[in-house]
Amino acid sequence: MGEHRIQLDTPLPLPCGATLPNRLGKSAMTEGCADHLGRATADHERLYRLWGRGGTGLLITGNIQVDRRSLERPGNVRIEGPQDAEQMRRLSAMAEAGQENGAHVWAQIGHAGRQAPAGACPEPVAPSSVPLKMLRWQQQAPRALREDEIENIIWRFGNAARVAKEAGFRGVQVHGAHGYLISEFLSPRVNQRTDKWGGDLKARARFLLEVIRTIRAAVGPDYPVGLKLNSADFQKGGFSHEDSMQVVEWLNHEGLDLLELTGGTYEHLSLLGVKVDNQFEREPPRASTAAREAYFAVYAAEARGIAKMPVMSTGGFRRRESMIGALNDGTCDLVGLARPLCVDPDISAKLIRGDVDETSVYEHTTALSEAEKQNLLPDEIQTATVLGQQAFFFMTLYDMAEGRLPHVNRTLPGAQAELVAREDLITRNLI
């Protein structure tokens, strides 16, 4: 026998009967490349063709929104109601570009809820009228959804999944994490409803479960349906780790094919890799090489002990040894990559072949200089660094989408300025 039973190129069978070609997946990263009508573009084709050639077995798209009134950011693709011929052609071209070399492209479908930026959403909605302050955007205070609107959004998720299947995507992933609408329903901090959609955890999970059931009914039993779920919100009074594990148990009966574990919201830096404050959340008592490197791995391992579907762990994986270890020590069934694919679209093939021992995300260029830190308080330095890094990787995605090599020598303030200018222009062109 070899050192490990499961290797990076080992196929992964899913409960619905589909099989992923290997154990590396691209976690969803918002692209911001749609046109002003919310349609996929040639930029999406170039980007997914690059990743499809690069050896990653599963490519999960960035946020495809089910409602133009609640975008996650300017430049989201959206699927609403029946699609005309041109919309379908563009969606199909995006899917086909990524799948030309055997990868599976799944459409991530979601609703931004109260995290929709003010420039793209003048009237955000949420389970309850609980405002927030995000790190990246300015938001309007949300309006509480009426029950008929909740039912309509559930229908929209099912419709978007049906359209994605017709367009040729090989699966869908529901975005139920990171403080967007489904995550908001799960959180007692945000969901303060007293009707059947709020209250105890079972009631708060009703919206998620109805979305999953509606999607499964729309796409049939043999089409992959995944979910991205927070292991915890890492906020006092929010969706806890214990809540998450109970939801995983309920999901065992809903026909899911892949569960991706993540954590945090845009009100908390844990989402972007900053260590969580254990005043609010305990860390499950598990230790492994992967857990020390990948910041949500301990939570994925605990979920995998409960889940009857395969589990994907994303966030912080950098070394090949840790990835293979995680696949063999009970941590996860699929390793998710994100930022490494922003600077090297071929990194998965290199990892699978053993050409490299670890990924590079250019940490030496994604830090503030001493001059840039001057006149900033410690908390301001952390926030400026995190947001600058986020902008840096957004801009490398734009580079690749527009046919350029990723420009990895940007400063963080420079990347932030580029991104703000670009998104201001996109926002002005929104209908």
**Which pair of structure tokens corresponds to residue 72?**
């996650």
Say if pTM beats, i.e. exceeds, 0.75: yes
| pLDDT tens-digit series, residues 37-80 | 999 999 999 999 999 999 999 999 999 999 999 999 889 999 99
Neighbours of 220 (CB within 10 A): 11
Mean pLDDT, range 234-244, rounded to an integer = 83
How big is the chain by its Cα radius of gyration, in Å?
20
The predicted structure's pLDDT at residue 137: 62
Neighbours of 158 (CB within 10 A): 21
User: Distance between CA 286 and CA 325 in Å, rounded?
Assistant: 14
**Which pair of structure tokens corresponds to residue 216?**
């499964």
In terms of residues, how long is the chain?
A: 431
**Which pair of structure tokens corresponds to residue 244?**
């998450």
User: Distance between CA 201 and CA 190 in Å, rounded?
Assistant: 13
| pLDDT tens-digit series, residues 76-114 | 999 998 899 999 999 999 999 999 999 999 999 999 999
Using CB atoms within 10 A of its CB, is residue 100 exposed (0-12), middle (13-18) or buried (19+)?
exposed
The predicted structure's pLDDT at residue 225: 98
The predicted structure's pLDDT at residue 4: 59
Q: Residue 382: pLDDT band by 50, 70, 90 thresholds? A: confident
Contact in structure between 384 and 329 (CB atoms under 8 Å): no
**CATH superfamily of the domain spanning 12-361:** Aldolase class I (3.20.20.70)
Q: What is the DSSP string of 154-190?
A: HHHHHHHHHHHHHHT-SEEEEEE-BTSHHHHHH-TTT
Amino acid (one-letter) located at 111: H
Domain boundaries, the chain: 12-361, 369-431
Residue 67 to residues 22, 111, 218, 278, 409, Cα–Cα distance (Å): 33, 7, 18, 36, 36
Residue 204: strand, helix, or coil: helix
Sorted by sequence, the CB contacts under 8 Å of residue 27 that are 6+ apart come out as 60, 260, 262, 312, 314, 315, 336, 337, 338
**Which pair of structure tokens corresponds to residue 16?**
């619905």
Q: What is the DSSP string of 31-50?
A: -----TTS---HHHHHHHHH
Q: How much helix, strand and coil, in percent to the nearest 5, is found in the chain?
A: 40, 15, 50
The predicted structure's pLDDT at residue 277: 46
The predicted structure's pLDDT at residue 425: 83
Q: What is the DSSP string of 114-135?
A: GGS-TTT-SS-EESS------S
Sorted by sequence, the CB contacts under 8 Å of residue 251 that are 6+ apart come out as 209, 212, 227, 229, 259, 307, 309
Could you give the residue ranges of the DSSP H alpha helices within 308-375?
320-328, 339-343, 347-353, 370-373
**Which pair of structure tokens corresponds to residue 25?**
């997946």
Mean pLDDT, range 349-371, rounded to an integer = 82
**Which pair of structure tokens corresponds to residue 118?**
């003010």
- Going by C-alpha positions, the residue among 233, 128, 116 that lies closest to residue 191 is 128
Assess whether pLDDT exceeds 90 at residue 407.
yes
Q: List phi, psi (to 5°) of 64.
A: -100, 115
Percent above pLDDT 70 for the chain:
89
Residue 426 to residues 33, 292, 355, 429, 431, Cα–Cα distance (Å): 9, 39, 39, 5, 10
Assess whether pLDDT exceeds 60 at residue 305.
yes
Q: List phi, psi (to 5°) of 42.
A: -60, -25
